[in-house]
Structure 1
Amino acid sequence: MLGTDDRPDTLRPTLTTTVAKEYVHRAALAEVFLTGWNKTGPDSFLVSAQWPRSHSFYTSEHGVHDPLLLCESLRQCGLLLTHAAFKVPFGYQLSWSSLRYSVNPEAMRIGNVPAEIEMHVRCTDIRYRRSLPVAMTMSIEVVRDAALLAVATIAFGQHAPAVYRRLRAGRSDAAGACANAPRPASPVPADVAGRIRREDVVLSPTEDRLRWRLRVDTNHPVLFDHPVDHVPGMLLLESVRQAGHALHPSGGAMMPTSMDVSFNRYVELDEPCWIEAEAMPSTAGSRKTACVNALQSGTFAFTAITQMTDVTGSCPG
């Protein structure tokens, strides 16, 4: 009888695991989607990921993966390469300045097994300080089963702990910020925001149908996987998606097939933030374009353009 260590090599399965959760700044292993990385050239990399067929927050309705699952994978990709490839120490803070993506809805269809994703990354505009990068741009082609799934660009800066404390001017205590955040206001109806669960809605109603207060629930298990001292970028992207859905209520499944977002400042947990949306001219009947802005303390925190595509009739339900 063969022991475990005596089996022929042909019987040994190929083993796959996720990258260390610390590399992607996640507390829960279940929220780590990246599975590995390799250097393919000067400042070029191949990063692999696996998307689950179902997720508690990045829901997969109507047979398609949620594009914000792509955004979370991009966020993790930037962090992984920053730490593992560019040797930036833990404790440095990464902050987005812009994010752009465009997805192919057909390539987002859910299969019978989890989706194996390849991200081909090219890093440009790298600025170094004392041998460590403090800013860069990543251009990413996302491939699934040899087909182009998405193209994306993320630009971000990185701050040493002392620099970040000065930048945040007394607001860098993550645990204290979350503990002192006000109780979230009542949400808009889930179907208005394009969500199934009330707990996942990040917009609260106002007297203006096209203006909402950002709803920040620091107890949300995915958006607040761990304490942070400001509103997470993924929550801001979710507000863009939900505002775009509320702006174009179609009764079907509206999917944010593209976003172009510029981040201007941190959104604070203890101050009201207002989300405003405006419809823009669209070129196709199934695609609706929206401009979404966030205002806090009288200034624009971010500005975004998103294209919402009705996928109800084009993808299997």
Structure 2
Amino acid sequence: MHASVPSANLQLVAQPSKPDPHRLLTFEHGVPRRLVHKAAVSEVLLTDALMLDTDRFVVAAQWPREHLLYNGAANGSSDPLLVAETIRQAVIYLSHRFYAVPEGHHFILDSLEFDIDAPGIPQGTGSPLAVVLDVSCVPTTDNPRRFAMDMECSIHVEGHRYGRAGLRWGAMDHRRYTMLRRPEGPAPKPAPTAVACGPALRPADVGHLHERDVLLSPVPHAAPGTWLLKVDQDHPVLFDHGSDHIPGMVLLEAFRQACHPAAQRDNASAPTPSIAVLTFAATSFSAFGRLGAPVTITSHPAPGSDDLCFGLAATQEGRTLATGIQQWVRVPKPRIPTQRSHTDREGEGRC
């Protein structure tokens, strides 16, 4: 026996490499707003999605340079709640487009979490930010009459991985949703009324610029870290469309605001100027929040952790609506360039 020797005339042909799926995505326009359950086109973050394999996808999103609510941290990183809103839209879009969930079905959010590498995802400089999610979905039920899944994804910007996120959700038709919301059967829907709240916190105390974005009001004589939820059903982002309950994104934003004062408290006494940024959040939703009834938000240092890790809860009429944990990280405060006088700049930049 002998080994064969390739002929000198034989030429090896290189196999074409598979294209990078990230490069196949388009960022030219948003997906149809009805497929992410948004009323305003400006609130649609997704631009495209492709199926790679069974339960494997890539999803494209574009984050605006300025958002009506999610405007980023003082260190120049993107608002981490844009991650939460992006994956919320992603699971709805994937459900309708690739899993044949009919339009008109109700979506139930069970849990949501994200873990972002410090100091955060950079903001777009001079243009919106192109974001890509590498998504894996896993069914969580064998019942063919139910739709429930887990989603896990990694977050990429310009080829760099900046963290991960996950979400558990389900979808159901209107009949089953009505039974879930009212086990005793359909009942007349009362007109929601505003909950009487005291003066809200200042926008700067919760990391915002506008009074309309403040969701917390102090509770007189209550323990530290106790707040009353301020629900504004006319808010253009948090109530982009009508809802028969308090949306999960409202509670997630309230949790973030409840941590902000304590997270920023010791920045001034730090050895170097610093700010605290949110990098990790895990939230579980256990009950629907009723509009028109008070909701208490509580925040406290998580046991056995550092001073920037917080446990959170939202309660209403003796029921727990949601619980969560958030980890903040202290990062150097960016320097603000000193402006030079007009005379110092004379002669510069002439053309």
TM-score of the pair, normalised by structure 2: 0.78
**Which letter does structure 2 place at the counterpart of 1:70?**
V
Aligned to 1:233: 248
1:43-192 maps to which residues of 2 (within 5 A)? Answer: 43-62=55-74, 63-106=76-119, 108-112=121-125, 113-127=127-141, 129-130=143-144, 134-169=147-182, 180-183=192-195, 185=197, 186-192=199-205
Deviation for aligned residue 1:159: 1.7
Q: Deviations over 1:40-94 (max 9, x none)?
A: 1111111100111111210124211100011100100010001111010011111
Superposition deviation, residue 257 in structure 1: 0.8
CA distance in 2, matches of 1:191, 1:172: 44
Aligned: 1:292 with 2:304: no
> Once the 2 structures are TM-superposed, how far is the Cα of residue 301 of structure 1 from its aligned partner?
1.0
CA offsets per residue over residues 14-49 of structure 1, 9 Å max, x none? 871111000100000000000000001111111100
Give unmatched runs, 5+ long, in structure 2. Answer: 1-25, 268-273, 338-351
Is the Cα–Cα contact under 8 Å of residues 282 and 288 in structure 1 kept in the other structure? Answer: no
Greater mean deviation of Cα atoms: 101-110 or 150-159:
101-110
Amino acid aligned to 2:215: V
1:259 maps to 2:259: no
Stretch of structure 1 that moved more, 204-213 or 274-283 = 274-283
- 2:281, 2:120 → 1: CA distance? 17
Q: Which moved more, 1:105-114 or 1:269-278?
A: 105-114
Tell me the residue number matched to 2:36. Answer: 24
CA contact (8 A) 2:65 2:124 kept: yes
Q: CA deviation at 1:164?
A: 0.5
What is the CA-CA distance between 1:98 and the residue it aligns to? Answer: 1.0
Corresponding pairs, count: 299
8 Å CA contact 1:290–1:307 kept in 2: the answer is: yes
* Cα separation, 1, equivalents of 2:335 and 2:42: 27
Contact 1:108 1:149 in 2 (8 A): yes
Read off the aligned partner of 1:291 and give its amino acid letter.
G
Matching residue of 1:8:
none
The residue type equivalent to 1:86 in the other structure is Y
Q: Which has the larger strand fraction?
A: 1
1:195 and 1:201 in contact (8 A); partners too: yes
Report the alpha carbon displacement of residue 315 of structure 1 after superposing the two structures with TM.
8.8
Shift of 1:246: 2.5
**How many angstroms apart in 2 are the aligned matches of 1:70 and 1:54?**
15
Provide the residue aligned with 1:213 in structure 2: 228
* Amino acid corresponding to residue 200 of structure 1 in structure 2: D
Q: Which has the larger radius of gyration?
A: 2
Judge conservation of contact 1:165–1:172 (CA < 8 Å) in 2.
yes
Between the aligned residues of both structures, percent identity stands at 31
TM-score w.r.t. the length of structure 1 is: 0.86
Q: 1:17 to 1:168 in 2, by over 3 A?
A: same
Secondary structure of the corresponding residue to residue 260 of structure 2 = helix
Distance (Å, rounded) in 2 between the aligned partners of 1:80 and 1:45: 11
Q: Alpha-carbon deviation of 1:249?
A: 3.4
CA distance in 2, matches of 1:78, 1:85: 10
Inter-partner Cα distance in structure 1 for 2:133 and 2:280 = 17
CA distance in 2, matches of 1:244, 1:43: 35
Q: What is the rounded CA distance, in whole Å, between the counterparts of 2:335 and 2:164 in structure 1?
A: 21
Q: Work out the CA distance in 1 between the residues paired with 2:205 and 2:309.
A: 17
Query: 1:106: Cα distance to partner?
Result: 4.1
Contact 1:247 1:278 in 2 (8 A): no
Whole-Å separation in 2 of the counterparts to 1:30 and 1:194: 22
Please, which moves more after superposition, 162-171 or 268-277? 162-171
Choose the corresponding residue for 2:327, options 307, 314, 317. Answer: 307
Name 2:9's counterpart in structure 1: none
